[in-house]
Amino acid sequence: MASIKHFRGFARSFRMTYNATNESALICLREMNDNRKEIDIQIAEGTITKLDMMHQLKIEMHIIDLLLKKIDDKINENKCSTLINNAVKIVTERVNDLRNTVYLFFNIEDEEEPEFLKISNILKIRCSYCYDCNASIQIISNEENASFNFSSSDFIKILQTTGFIDKTSMIRKVFENIIIQGRVILAPRKYGKSTNLTMLKYFLEIQVDSLGNPISKADSETPITDTSNYELFRNLKISRETKIMNQHFGKYPVLYAKLKTKDEINSYSEAIDEAKEIIHKSFELHSYLKKSTKLSNKQRAISKFWCDGTRYKMAVFDDVIIGLRSLCKFLSKHFNKPCYVLIDDLDSFIVSDTDTTADTLVEEYRCIFSFLKQFLLFLNNKKYVFQAFMTGKSSLAIHGILPVCIEMKQFYSCHEFTDYFGLTNDELEYLFRKPEFINIQITVKEVKAYYGAYNKFAVNEKRKNQIYCIWSILNVLKHKRLDNYWRGFGTFFCNFSNKHIKAIMEDLVMTEKDLDITLFNKPKLIALPIPPLIFKTTEDIYSNKSLEYFCCNMLDLGYLTCNKAPLVIQVSTTDETNFTANLRIPNEEVRHDIKNKLPLLS
């Protein structure tokens, strides 16, 4: 509907601007608008490519240039340009939204950004013919500066910005219970998961030279203070934890793997290819293993194979399935101690093809599930793994692929790591008190009202933490205005086309009601793969606990939050333990995105 409304506005503007016989510009605009609607759908489904988004951005910025030239002509002719001004505003809003989405959707920290992404202009649009036609629009830029860095999630780069929040005290929590073999921390997109994981990497890793020899002169029993990583942490909160610094800083071989896939996965074979890429990049971080004298000839050959820029693509299944296990084993042998394993985006291996039939989708996902379960089985090996720390978004996508020794910390629950993924109330207020941001006219009260916090409750307890989306708050500080900066993507949102789900979401959005629901007991699903269900438009979602599945995913993805503490329910006939939750949409930003998705995906 919004797309049609925008097009009508363009049409009126162009009819005022061009002769009736000149329809080429109007046809071009119609095509651009149709393309944008299709791109918006692909963005919502999570199937968009970076190339398509960049192409659309160039087209729309070219349209802005054309419209601005016509405005200049109108001004010179003392003619009214109100409608063209409105058209420019609409296209500008769309350009800003698309540019923000590029950074929200894609990781471009290792790539050179196109110059047109860095353009930043405040355009004063005026109309000499009318007094009330004056307007000001801004084309926002994501060009990084000393205050912000939205193109990178690397701890070192974030540390250099004014918007940096010191979360290093999380490291103390990591070592409070070393009996636990590993943890998975779940949080929605852009809540600091990757930054925290790279922070752990720099804190834990043994820094080495090109031959794999430790750079520090300190022995294993002596605190390390002579490395570049030490300089990162020396003035941060964790540096005051003397025992942690002495025992753990720079003391571990670290296996760091990013499971985030470059493109959407449409089949089991594509998942295997992506796994090869992940193993290759993880081995590349330790290229010194190719010449390590502490490894056997065969182990050095395997390391060389995975580090090679082309040969790794020829790896057979048996080599892929033990790829990370081999790296973990080689690192442990090289350093003569078990590894600390860090894995980011654990739930990235999701089948994204919405055209796949239900039976095929389930079968493909079942194969991927079985593969991932074997792929990550090495986490259970205490000989090679000291501990693991991992991140992801969806509990249902992850549940069952990990060994039972790994704890899962869900986003909607209150746990020891809650305050480190997102912004706490105190951290939000601290940012707005910083001298660099004192010229912002928006108040903290207004920010809290619009980006209302996610409630984190401990089950059956009154204890509650509140967390804000760090991406949204930093964007407010950068652009100095309230806007809708955050959203989620993925084929899961195609479920909005189901008439039952659509009715529920419309009720939540329009009436601001709460939703009481019983969430099922996930432990009993450990042995079963849980495909990313796409309900048919007319399917009865109330069968097979599908509504609970849907709501659980919405909680994980940040689209719902608990309104009050969940209550445990014991089912006496089956000895199952479920819990009831009172859910609502967390804030206006999320409400706006749901409103956009409902008609777009229906």
Q: What is the pLDDT of residues 541-573, one digit of tens each?
A: 655 467 777 888 899 999 999 887 766 654 444
Query: Given this model, what pLDDT does residue 40 score?
Result: 87
C-alpha span between 585 and 594 (Å, rounded)? 9
The residue ranking higher by pLDDT, 461 or 87, is: 87
DSSP state of 393: S
Chain Cα centroid distance, residue 193? 8
Mean pLDDT along residues 93-121: 68
Q: Which of 72, 160, 201 lies closest to 124, judged by CA?
A: 72
The region of weakest confidence among 112-121, 224-233, 370-379 is: 112-121
Mean pLDDT along residues 244-265: 89
The residue ranking higher by pLDDT, 508 or 461, is: 508
Query: Given this model, what pLDDT does residue 321 score?
Result: 97
In this predicted model, what pLDDT tens digit does every residue of 418-464 receive, in sequence order?
999 999 999 999 999 999 888 888 999 999 999 999 988 776 566 67
In this predicted model, what pLDDT tens digit does every residue of 143-156 receive, in sequence order?
555 678 888 899 99
Return the percentage of the chain with pLDDT > 70, whole number: 77
Could you tell me the pLDDT band of residue 109, with boundaries at 50, 70 and 90? low
Q: Which amino acid is located at 440 in the chain?
A: I
Mean pLDDT along residues 222-242: 94
The region of weakest confidence among 89-93, 123-127, 495-499, 564-568 is: 123-127
Q: Which of 69, 5, 85, 70 lies closest to 37, judged by CA?
A: 5
User: Is the separation of the CB atoms in 361 and 529 below 8 Å?
Assistant: no
Torsion sign, CA atoms 495, 496, 499, 504: positive
What would the two tokens of residue 521 be? 């007991």
Q: What angle do CA 313, 194, 342 make, to 5 degrees?
A: 65
C-alpha span between 515 and 508 (Å, rounded)? 8
Q: Give the H or E element holding residue 318.
A: helix 317-321
Query: Given this model, what pLDDT does residue 388 score?
Result: 96
SS3 569: strand
Dihedrals phi, psi of 250, to nearest 5 degrees: 65, 25
C-alpha span between 41 and 47 (Å, rounded)? 9
Confidence check: pLDDT of 381 > 90: yes
The residue ranking higher by pLDDT, 583 or 25, is: 583
SS3 522: helix
Which residue is associated with the tokens 């892929």? 320
Ranges of beta strands (E only) in 223-338 are 254-258
Query: Given this model, what pLDDT does residue 469 score?
Result: 96
**Count of C-beta atoms within a 10 Å radius of residue 301:** 11
Could you tell me the pLDDT band of residue 129, with boundaries at 50, 70 and 90? low
Q: In sequence order, which residues have a C-beta less than 8 Å from that of residue 399 and are 6 or more positions away?
A: 408, 522, 525, 526, 530
The string of DSSP letters for 80-147 reads: --HHHHHHHHHHHHHHHHHHHHHHHH---TTSPPPGGGS--EEEEE--TT-SS--EEEEE------SS
C-alpha span between 206 and 337 (Å, rounded)? 11
DSSP state of 151: S
In this predicted model, what pLDDT tens digit does every residue of 327-353 receive, in sequence order?
999 999 999 999 999 999 998 876 554
SS3 72: helix
Query: Given this model, what pLDDT does residue 234 score?
Result: 94
What would the two tokens of residue 94 be? 């769309």
Which residue is associated with the tokens 């929590």? 173
Q: What angle do CA 342, 343, 348 make, to 5 degrees?
A: 170
Please, how many CA atoms are within 13 Å of residue 314, restricted to the half-sphere of its CB?
7
C-alpha span between 363 and 372 (Å, rounded)? 14
The residue ranking higher by pLDDT, 547 or 487, is: 487
The residue ranking higher by pLDDT, 96 or 594, is: 594
Could you tell me the pLDDT band of residue 404, with boundaries at 50, 70 and 90? confident
Could you tell me the pLDDT band of residue 43, with boundaries at 50, 70 and 90? confident
- From residue 205, alpha-carbon distances to 140, 177, 178 in Å are 38, 19, 17
- Average pLDDT along the chain: 82
What radius of gyration do the chain's Cα atoms show?
Answer: 26
Q: Give the H or E element holding residue 454.
A: strand 454-457
Could you tell me the pLDDT band of residue 525, with boundaries at 50, 70 and 90? very low
Could you tell me the pLDDT band of residue 307, with boundaries at 50, 70 and 90? very high
Q: Which of 194, 260, 246, 198 lies closest to 218, judged by CA?
A: 246
The most confident of 84-88, 258-262, 400-404, by mean pLDDT: 400-404
Query: Given this model, what pLDDT does residue 364 score?
Result: 79
Confidence check: pLDDT of 534 > 70: no
